[in-house]
Amino acid sequence: MRRWHRTFVVLLILVGCGYLIAACSEAEPDPVPTSVQASEASGSQIFAATCAACHGADGEGAADWMVRDEDGRLPPPPLNGEGHTWHHADGVLYGIVSEGGLGLGFGSNMPAFKDELSHEEIIAVLEYVKTFWRGKEIDGASLLETQQESSQTDPYPPAGG
């Protein structure tokens, strides 16, 4: 009987240590959401409220988006695949939305949204913008696939990073 009691106590101590170690260990950071995880509906709402006033409801941008204004700044480019947005990797696109056009040296009047949109909201709106590129190609290559390839080496930053 005493042996059984000792085995039970040792087992109880081991289980308690396991819980203690698990509770004290640092949690893994949340992975960056993929395009499947990001909500297109949420991104659509954010785009309508935050981006459409300058870039157009369908991402068409300003007609003269390649002509600098009197201050040397570029007007809003199209985001619908007709401009250059799809050339940029996810990390660059995230930086543009977060830091604004001047923050990254793009010479545009785009404001920084890092204080207005959360990490997840920035990703959601960018994933929504990518829906404009579906079915579009340049020189036989899919805009989405081309952009995804460049994002392999420059993905969205992790939350809090």
Query: What's the confidence (pLDDT) of residue 1?
Result: 53
Tokens for 69, please give them: 């204004």
Query: What's the confidence (pLDDT) of residue 85?
Result: 94
Query: pLDDT tens-digit profile of 51-87?
Result: 999 999 999 999 999 999 999 999 999 999 999 999 9
Tell me phi and psi for residue 74, to 5 degrees: -90, 140
Query: pLDDT tens-digit profile of 1-26?
Result: 566 555 444 444 444 444 444 444 44
Tokens 């990518």 sit on residue:
130
Tokens for 107, please give them: 């010479």
Query: pLDDT tens-digit profile of 86-136?
Result: 999 999 999 999 999 887 777 888 999 999 999 999 999 999 999 999 999
Say if residue 152's pLDDT is above 50. Answer: yes
Q: What is d(CA 50, CA 100) in angstroms, rounded to the nearest whole number?
A: 13
Q: What is d(CA 132, CA 96) in angstroms, rounded to the nearest whole number?
A: 18
Q: Which domains does the chain have, with CATH numbers?
A: 33-151 (1.10.760.10)
First to last CA, the chain: 57
Tokens 């404001």 sit on residue:
111
Identity of residue 89: A
Query: What's the confidence (pLDDT) of residue 15?
Result: 42
* Residue 159 CB neighbour total at 10 angstroms: 14
Say if residue 29's pLDDT is above 50. Answer: no
- Model-wide pTM > 0.85: no
Burial of 14 per CB tally in 10 Å (0-12, 13-18, 19+): exposed
Tell me phi and psi for residue 16, to 5 degrees: -60, -40
Cα 109 versus chain centre, distance: 21
Instruction: Kindly indicate the confidence band of residue 39, based on its pLDDT and cuts at 50, 70 and 90.
Output: low
